[in-house]
Amino acid sequence: MMHDNAISLLENRTILYAEDEAGIRENVVQILEIFFKKVYVANDGESALLLYEENFPDILMVDICMPNKDGLEVISHIRKKNSKIPIIVLSAHRDGAHLWRAVEQKISKYLTKPFNKTEIMEALSICALELVDGILHVKLNENVDYDISQKSLISNGDKMPLSSQESRLLEYFISCRGQILSFEAIEDRLWGYESPGKEAIKALVKALRKKTGKEVIKNHYGIGYYLA
């Protein structure tokens, strides 16, 4: 599904989640920790602003009704500094007034309580696509694009499907573009506790390079690889 494909791009991203109700907060944090590198958690508006200033997360998920500044105040303050950060608004209110105030802040998704895991994942997928300019194609170089939804490369109009491991590796590179990924980091992300060794990683990278072109994925001798 498109949502599954898009949400995989959040693996190296961070989110700030602000919610004053402890029970809801605990359940949602467990879901967010599945998809994000780091989840920053606040229980009121002031602590949310402080965490934002200290960590500059990639995505915001904010409840409207919170003590010490409500969620819309928090969003308004952050919007003055960052006009592009994807924002998910949570609310127990179904009335148009709250929704309209949220829409004015250019939010990505408005979720009405109670919501479920599927709804959260759909909202996160929307945010993930906004982080890659809201499109399903990621440009790798002048000649090659990656189609997130189809798990395939597009070169000169031709589609080249990727294997499951190839697409997972490429999406990991995309989420950390320009950052050197060590053999250990790649091994942990793709295989977890099952250690295939460096040779398996090299073979996978070699297979992917045959499709992307060598100039897309660069080698850092003895350490790992990075996406140019």
Residue 159's DSSP bridge partners are: 154
| pTM exceeds cut of 0.85 | no
E strand intervals along 174-228: 181-182, 217-220, 224-227
Higher local confidence (pLDDT), 135 or 126: 126
Model confidence pLDDT, tens digit, residues 44-83: 999 999 999 999 999 999 998 899 988 889 999 998 888 8
DSSP class of residue 8? G
Instruction: Indicate the pLDDT class of residue 95, thresholds 50, 70 and 90.
Output: low
Distance CA 74, CA 80 (A): 10
Judge residue 160's burial from the number of C-beta atoms within 10 Å of its C-beta, 0-12 exposed, 13-18 middle, 19 or more buried. Answer: middle
Q: What's the mean pLDDT in 145-165?
A: 87
Instruction: Indicate the pLDDT class of residue 1, thresholds 50, 70 and 90.
Output: very low
pLDDT score of 6 more than 80: no
* Dihedral of alpha carbons 159, 5, 123, 228, sign: negative
Distance CA 180, CA 218 (A): 9
Other CB atoms within 10 A of residue 220 CB: 11
E strand intervals along 58-157: 59-63, 87-91, 109-112, 137-139, 144-147, 152-155
Q: Quick one: tokens of 60?
A: 């915001």
DSSP class of residue 112? E
Contact 45, 18 (CB under 8 A): yes
Structural domains of the chain ordered from first start:
2-131 (3.40.50.2300), 137-227 (1.10.10.10)
Residue 92's DSSP bridge partners are: none
pLDDT score of 212 more than 60: yes
Question: What pLDDT is stored for residue 2 in this prediction?
Answer: 44
